[in-house]
Amino acid sequence: MLRLYRSLLFLYPHSYRCVYAGEMLSVLAEVDLEASRGNRWARIAWRAREVGGLLSGAFTEHARQLTGFYRTPVLFPRRSRMRSEFRFPKATGILMTLILVAVIMAIEKAKAISASLPPTSTPVGPIQPEHLSTVTSFLVILALALSAAAIGWLVVYALRRSGLQRLSDVRPGAAAGGNKPAA
């Protein structure tokens, strides 16, 4: 089955293949191994979906290279298309709109408060600073968070569970399941 996947990858543009072919083949090999453990119809359905996804992806990449933007292939469902560009979550526009509305409402409320005060010509005394300002509060919270993070990292490091220590135990080229630290 991997030979079929390799041959289908040649339908992709050369520049795309150079960047993504190795990763795509390794993912397809892993998932194909897992799918081979299922029943016959599940394997057939999965492989058909992957072949359709590879064909759709090749078509989309060629269209993108020709036109400069993605076109939706009509023949293939949306879920089988892959995109390599960054996308914001769908809720981003809604949240940004809500924040804009909140800021505008705060500005209008401040204008209303300012307009409701009687005009006086007597000077107002100096505004007394608060005992704990916003900047000081932020710096105290930041210092506490950094201290907690440092203590947590020291505990993990002392227990030899940090990613750096586990990474130094990995032996490249070892068989699967054989990445145990050398004695």
The DSSP secondary structure of 28-68, one letter per residue, reads HHHHHHHHTTS-HHHHHHHHHHHHHHHHHHHHHHHHHHHHS
Question: What is the pLDDT at residue 144?
Answer: 92
Closest listed residue to residue 14, CA positions, set 58, 47, 50: 58
Helix 14-35, helix 2-9: angle, nearest 10? 160
The pLDDT, as a whole number, for residue 147 is 93
- Domain extents for the chain? 2-80, 135-171
pLDDT at 148: 92
Do the Cβ atoms of 63 and 71 come closer than 8 Å? yes
106-115: which pairs have CB atoms within 8 A and are 24 or more residues apart? none
Go through the chain and tell me how many residues it has: 183
Per-residue pLDDT of the chain (183 residues; tens, 9 = 90+): 778 888 888 888 888 888 888 888 888 888 888 777 778 888 888 888 888 888 888 888 888 888 776 555 555 455 545 555 556 777 787 888 889 988 998 888 888 877 777 777 677 667 666 655 667 777 888 899 999 989 988 887 777 766 666 666 677 765 555 445 544
Residue 7 near residue 30 (C-beta atoms within 8 A) = no
Q: Is the Cβ–Cβ distance between 29 and 50 less than 8 Å?
A: no
pLDDT at 183: 45
Q: What confidence score (pLDDT) does residue 70 get?
A: 58
